[in-house]
């Protein structure tokens, strides 16, 4: 079984709908798959960018924030 929300799982659902001859469901799922596949490159870039920011933040020496109302 594939992971929920994955492109592979959606592709399997399309295959199953096609096998059953359910063209309406198959078309709907194919549209969702096309959209989801368009996100893959963008999400990969965002993940890389976030890793770079996380690394940069780890090298900074920001002073600890004092919570308001703590009396300090």
Nearest to 32 by CA among 68, 6, 55: 6
Check the CA dihedral 13-14-16-17 and report its sign: positive
The structural domain count of the chain equals 1
Q: Tens digits of per-residue pLDDT, 25-58? A: 999 999 999 999 898 889 999 999 999 998 888 8
For the cut 70, the answer to whether the pLDDT of residue 71 exceeds it is no
* Domain range enclosing 48: 7-58
- The whole-number pLDDT of residue 59 equals 87
Does residue 27 lie within any of the structural domains? Answer: yes
Burial 46-60 (b: 16+ CB within 10 A, else e): eeeeeeeeeeeeeee
Residue 67 covered by a domain: no
Q: What percent of the chain has pLDDT over 90?
A: 50
């Amino acid at each position: 079984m594939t992971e929920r929300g994955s492109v592979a799982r959606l592709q399997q659902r399309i295959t199953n709908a096609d096998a059953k001859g359910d063209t309406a469901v198959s078309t709907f799922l194919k549209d969702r798959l096309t959209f989801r596949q368009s996100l893959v490159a963008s999400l990969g870039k965002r993940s890389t960018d976030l890793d770079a920011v996380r690394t940069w933040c780890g090298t900074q020496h920001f002073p600890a924030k004092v919570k308001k109302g703590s009396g300090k």
